[in-house]
């Protein structure tokens, strides 16, 4: 058993917000000292403890959502609950479901699924001024809003349960939380909830129409018999309406506006602004799409699609000071650089080739996070892109030049595989720092929260200068234990986005056209309903 590692990081000002299981810790970026901790109400000792009650089983609906079937709020860690239930039922669950009577047979087309059995904070972000922190707990689909005093102390303001599990969040300048979920829908909700809940839509009672004919207008025996049957049907319908309970109101008890939707699982979301000042929502999904939509109230208007990925897209970032550029990564072996406004692919560079220098056996990569950095000592027109991949113990870096080319590739090797990273901007006096959450499963004595001071080498590549230590030894002792298999199930979710063909091979083999090879051929998109031409790009390695 090892401690559950940190899995989400976010910085604002001089404060680091670090999520670990169902807790959010705050640290000073100046001294490294721990400041405060918020704990999820469901955060509790491991259910491996014999004193814990048995956990509930979860049943998947036809649409893939999870429906509870009773028991405690946690899913079982072992797979022996089906056997126990069969024994309890006296073997009645066996067979093809053709038996008569209650308890016999098995519902076909439905399967028992497991959900995360622990409280896990899956997303962290904050407002630009740092006054509010927004977090998402994935197991219960709740968006939490905290007030931040600027010194690391959090005060919970609200909790709102979303219709589906959020998979990406952002905070807009107009104090709206933009949330995308695993079913492809994007919603907006106010950062600070209104004190007046929205009025629920009144339930419509079905109208029952009486037959126009009567015994005064119908005379034949056959028609009179038909009229009697209609009267009986009318009486039965009225009885059903009076006996049936009013359907439950599924309207959320808070303001929630649907902005747009994908036909696939939404994986990443960023808010961008054009040089003209118009705002857009950039969304990515499991089906290789990157979509540019106008911001509310015209979010139904699709401006363009950035087409070129052949596998899932999981990470998006807009480089510092380069608001017209978008960098994307996911299941492809390349990183892509786009002029998002015109949906034009500018350049792409291989990340797989660099990963093989760290792990020679690597055959594919799954980009789990992207970040951006501008070093005060570097050129004003140059930015740096940082990427981490699932199960590869390194941070990959590139310099993004003024010509929008990714050059000077490098790798900062780590002792363990990273789960998340964030960049602390530097100044002329203080160099930038890099904070990384790693999973020290192979080294239980290792630190999960690591930080480094960054410098730029003579050849222009990012390098690590020295390590910065956070004081979390006391927190380490209080954290929950879990097996490596449980940690992998909880925190390693990116590679599972990769689609598999019937033969077990990865889908997607086409490459985007590169500059010097002619104009890109049109590439169709079922979601877009139109063809989009991929422009020429430059491939950098």
Identify whether the C-beta of residue 384 lies closer than 8 Å to the C-beta of residue 369: no
pLDDT band at 198 (very low <50, low <70, confident <90, very high): low
Torsion on CA atoms 395, 401, 407, 408, rounded to nearest 10:
-60
Q: Which residues is 155 bridged to in the sheet?
A: 147
Is the pLDDT higher at 89 or at 155?
155
Q: Which stretch of 71-75, 166-170, 245-249, 497-501 has the lowest confidence by average pLDDT?
A: 71-75
Q: Which stretch of 78-82, 171-175, 282-286 has the lowest confidence by average pLDDT?
A: 78-82
pLDDT value of residue 229: 84
pLDDT band at 55 (very low <50, low <70, confident <90, very high): very low
Terminal Cα distance for the chain, rounded: 41
Average pLDDT, integer, range 271-298: 95
- Tokens 């979301």 belong to residue: 269
Q: Which stretch of 134-138, 228-232, 512-516 has the lowest confidence by average pLDDT?
A: 512-516
Q: Which stretch of 103-112, 151-160, 320-329, 483-492 has the lowest confidence by average pLDDT?
A: 103-112
Report phi then psi at 221, rounded to 5.
-65, -45
Is the pLDDT higher at 179 or at 236?
179
> Above 50 in pLDDT, residue 58?
no
167 Rama class: left (phi>0) / alpha (psi -120 to 50) / beta: alpha
Mean pLDDT over each residue of the chain, to the nearest integer:
80
Q: Which residues is 59 bridged to in the sheet?
A: 67, 112
Is the pLDDT higher at 246 or at 200?
200
pLDDT band at 226 (very low <50, low <70, confident <90, very high): confident
pLDDT band at 205 (very low <50, low <70, confident <90, very high): low
| 2-44+117-195+256-497, CATH topology level | Methylamine Dehydrogenase; Chain H (2.130.10)
Spatial CA neighbour of 235 closest among 201, 210, 204: 210
- Tokens 């990925």 belong to residue: 309
Average pLDDT, integer, range 94-113: 41
Is the pLDDT higher at 415 or at 317?
317
Average pLDDT, integer, range 322-333: 95
pLDDT value of residue 48: 47
Structure tokens at 348: 């792409």
Structure tokens at 194: 């209104």
pLDDT value of residue 231: 84
Rounded CA-CA distance 279/318 in Å is 14
Spatial CA neighbour of 7 closest among 418, 315, 397: 418
Report phi then psi at 493, rounded to 5.
-125, -5
Q: Which stretch of 186-190, 264-268, 422-426 has the lowest confidence by average pLDDT?
A: 422-426
Q: Which stretch of 5-9, 97-101, 467-471 has the lowest confidence by average pLDDT?
A: 97-101
pLDDT band at 239 (very low <50, low <70, confident <90, very high): confident
Spatial CA neighbour of 450 closest among 123, 15, 32, 14: 32
Identify whether the C-beta of residue 511 lies closer than 8 Å to the C-beta of residue 310: yes
pLDDT in tens, 10-36: 999 999 999 999 999 999 999 999 999
Domain locations along the chain: 2-44+117-195+256-497, 53-72+109-116
Most confident of 289-303, 455-469, 470-484: 289-303
- Tokens 């077990």 belong to residue: 504
How buried is 265 (Cβ within 10 angstroms: 0-12 exposed, 13-18 middle, 19+ buried)? middle
CA-angle at 446, arms to 6 and 116, nearest 5°: 35
Q: Which stretch of 6-20, 133-147, 232-246, 515-529 has the lowest confidence by average pLDDT?
A: 515-529
pLDDT in tens, 464-509: 888 888 988 888 888 888 899 999 999 999 999 999 865 555 554 4
> Above 80 in pLDDT, residue 4?
yes
Is the pLDDT higher at 239 or at 255?
255
pLDDT band at 199 (very low <50, low <70, confident <90, very high): low
Average pLDDT, integer, range 358-364: 93
Is the pLDDT higher at 235 or at 292?
292
Q: Which stretch of 131-145, 160-174, 240-254 has the lowest confidence by average pLDDT?
A: 240-254
For 523, other C-beta atoms within 10 Å of its C-beta total 16
Rounded CA-CA distance 131/129 in Å is 6
pLDDT value of residue 234: 82
pLDDT value of residue 141: 95
> Above 60 in pLDDT, residue 541?
no
pLDDT band at 197 (very low <50, low <70, confident <90, very high): low
pLDDT value of residue 117: 66
pLDDT value of residue 237: 78
CB proximity list for 8: less than 8 A, separation 6 or greater: 18, 19, 121, 122, 123, 124, 420, 437
Residue 460 DSSP code:
S
């Amino acid at each position: 058993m090892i401690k559950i590692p940190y899995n989400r990081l976010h910085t604002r000002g001089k404060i680091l917000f670090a999520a670990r299981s169902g807790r959010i810790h705050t640290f000073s970026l100046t001294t490294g000292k721990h400041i405060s901790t918020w704990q999820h109400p469901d955060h509790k000792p491991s259910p491996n403890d014999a004193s814990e009650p048995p956990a509930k089983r979860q049943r998947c609906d036809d649409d893939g959502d999870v429906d509870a079937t009773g028991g405690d709020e946690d899913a079982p860690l072992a797979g022996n609950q089906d056997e126990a239930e069969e024994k309890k039922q006296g073997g009645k669950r066996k067979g093809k479901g053709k038996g008569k009577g209650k308890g016999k047979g098995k519902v076909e087309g439905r399967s028992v699924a497991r959900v995360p059995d622990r409280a896990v904070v899956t997303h962290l972000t904050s407002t630009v001024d740092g006054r509010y922190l927004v977090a998402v707990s994935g197991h219960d689909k709740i968006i939490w809003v905290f007030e931040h005093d600027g010194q690391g102390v959090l005060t919970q303001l609200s909790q709102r349960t979303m219709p589906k599990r959020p998979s990406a969040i952002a905070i807009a300048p107009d104090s709206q939380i933009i949330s995308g979920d695993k079913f492809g829908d994007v919603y907006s909700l106010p950062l600070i909830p209104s004190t007046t809940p929205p009025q629920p839509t009144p339930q419509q009672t079905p109208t029952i129409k009486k037959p126009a004919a009567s015994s005064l207008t119908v005379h034949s025996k056959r028609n009179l018999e038909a009229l009697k049957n209609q009267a009986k049907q009318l009486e039965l319908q009225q009885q059903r309406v009076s006996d049936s309970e009013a359907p439950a109101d599924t309207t959320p008890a808070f303001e929630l506006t649907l902005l747009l939707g994908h036909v696939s699982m939404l994986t990443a979301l960023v808010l961008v602004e054009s040089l003209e000042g118009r705002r857009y929502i950039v969304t990515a999904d499991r089906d290789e799409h990157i979509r540019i939509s106008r911001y509310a109230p015209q979010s139904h208007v699709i401006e363009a699609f950035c087409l070129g990925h052949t596998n899932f897209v999981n990470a998006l970032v807009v480089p510092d000071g380069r608001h017209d550029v978008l960098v994307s990564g996911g299941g492809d072996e390349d990183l892509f650089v786009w002029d998002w406004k015109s949906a034009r692919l500018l350049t792409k560079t291989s990340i797989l080739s660099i990963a093989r220098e760290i792990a020679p056996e690597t055959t594919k990569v799954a980009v789990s996070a992207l970040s951006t950095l501008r070093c005060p000592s570097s050129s004003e027109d140059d930015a740096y892109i940082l990427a981490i991949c699932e199960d590869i113990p390194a941070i990959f870096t590139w310099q993004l030049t003024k010509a929008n080319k990714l050059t000077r590739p490098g790798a900062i090797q780590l002792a363990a595989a990273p789960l998340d990273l964030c960049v602390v901007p530097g100044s002329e006096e203080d160099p930038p720092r890099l904070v990384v959450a790693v999973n020290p499963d192979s080294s239980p004595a290792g630190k999960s929260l690591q930080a480094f001071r960054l410098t730029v080498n003579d050849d222009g590549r990012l390098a690590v200068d020295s390590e910065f230590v956070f004081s979390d030894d006391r927190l380490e002792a209080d954290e929950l234990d879990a097996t490596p298999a449980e940690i992998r199930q909880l925190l390693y979710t990116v590679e599972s986005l990769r689609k598999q063909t019937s033969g077990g091979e990865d889908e997607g083999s086409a490459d985007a056209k590169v500059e010097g090879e002619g104009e890109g051929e049109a590439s169709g998109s079922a979601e877009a309903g139109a063809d989009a031409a991929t422009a020429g790009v430059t491939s950098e390695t």
